[in-house]
């Protein structure tokens, strides 16, 4: 006769009881999963902590120097050294600073192969085209502002035989020997109203310029001057729409 009958006991493993704690400690029932509220609170705490730890991440040297009386010296020096290293690395890349005219025979070396080490921007140009002259002007500004970018220019039909004039200007952006982006005319960038900021946005999106780069904030032209330029090019577009300046084009490049 069995004198040790076993009694089945129903246990709710989700309950917070002392008995359940004992069972969990002995592996009889699984550990209670954390509540969604608890997980959310922990995630928020971690986000706040990370934000505080990285509060100096996007500050430049001048802003860091202003915090000397507010921040821990060792912590502040870490970010200062980081900024120094970034400035040094950037200065080593600053080797262009102007538009580089190239020929068809130079294209592979000056553009495709060169894009292994830097971002390369190519303008397939047509001097008689209004938008091409506008783009050339903007690329001149861009080259001075971001001299680490290699910007090349070649007359479209000298690069590709019988290249349609209606495709000019063509803007091509290379990196790691690949074409990242191509624009046929400035239609997608803003047409005759395209600005330096439009080009900068494209380059930020492609990773050619860091979105936190302070140079993006510094504009060489105020809004009134940009509007004046936009109107000037718009008037020229209407006036020269039907004119053919191929001879001028040859004089310009020869």
* pLDDT tens digit sequence for 153-174: 999 999 999 999 999 999 999 9
* Averaged pLDDT, 2-30: 67
More confident residue, 28 or 227: 28
Q: Convert the pLDDT of each residue in 40-66 to its tens digit.
A: 666 665 665 555 455 556 666 566 566
pLDDT at 253 over 50: no
Question: What is the arithmetic mean of pLDDT over 90-116?
Answer: 87
How confident is residue 250, by pLDDT bands cut at 50, 70 and 90? very low
pLDDT at 14 over 70: no
> Which domains, ranges and CATH numbers included, belong to the chain?
36-93 (no CATH), 99-253 (3.40.30.10)
DSSP state letters, 86-131? HHHHHHHH----SEEE--GGGHIIIIIGGGGTS-EEEEEE-TT-HH
Mean residue pLDDT of the chain comes to: 77
Going by pLDDT thresholds of 50, 70 and 90, the confidence category of residue 20 is confident
Distance between CA atoms of residues 201 and 211, nearest Å: 9
The single residue listed with the structure tokens 């439009």 is 198
pLDDT on residue 219: 55
Per-residue pLDDT tens over the stretch 180-236 = 999 999 999 999 999 999 999 999 999 999 888 888 875 545 555 555 666 666 555
| pLDDT at residue number 252 | 40
pLDDT of residue 215: 85
Q: In this predicted structure, what is the pLDDT of residue 109?
A: 95
pLDDT at 136 over 80: yes
Read off the pLDDT band of 21 (50, 70, 90). confident
Q: Rounded mean pLDDT of 88-112?
A: 84
Measure the CA–CA gap between 247 and 254, rounded to whole angstroms: 11
Between CA 158 and CA 144 the distance in angstroms is: 26
In a 10 Å sphere around its CB, with 0-12 CB exposed, 13-18 middle and 19+ buried, how is residue 58 labelled?
A: exposed
């Amino acid at each position: 006769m069995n004198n040790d009958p076993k009694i089945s006991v129903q246990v709710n493993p989700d309950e917070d009881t002392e008995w359940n704690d004992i069972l969990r400690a002995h592996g009889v029932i699984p550990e209670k999963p954390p509540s969604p509220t608890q997980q959310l609170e922990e995630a928020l705490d971690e986000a706040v902590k990370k934000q505080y730890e990285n509060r100096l991440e996007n500050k430049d040297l001048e802003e860091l120097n202003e915090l000397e009386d507010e921040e821990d010296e060792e912590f502040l020096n870490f970010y200062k050294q980081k900024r120094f290293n970034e400035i040094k690395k950037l200065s080593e890349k600053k080797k262009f600073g102007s538009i580089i005219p190239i020929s068809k025979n130079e294209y592979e070396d000056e553009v495709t192969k060169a894009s292994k080490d830097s971002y390369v921007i190519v303008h397939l140009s047509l001097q008689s085209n209004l938008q091409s002259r506008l783009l050339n002007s903007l690329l001149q500004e861009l080259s001075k502002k971001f001299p680490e970018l290699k910007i090349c220019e070649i007359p479209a039909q000298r690069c590709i035989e019988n290249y349609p004039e209606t495709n000019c200007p063509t803007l091509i952006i290379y990196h790691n020997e690949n074409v990242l982006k191509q624009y046929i005319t400035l239609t997608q960038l803003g047409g005759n109203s395209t600005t330096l900021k439009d080009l900068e946005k494209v380059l930020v999106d492609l990773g050619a310029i860091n979105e936190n780069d302070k140079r993006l904030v510094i504009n060489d032209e105020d809004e009134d001057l940009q509007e004046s330029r936009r109107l000037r090019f718009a008037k020229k577009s209407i006036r020269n729409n039907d004119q053919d300046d191929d001879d001028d084009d040859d004089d310009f490049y020869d």
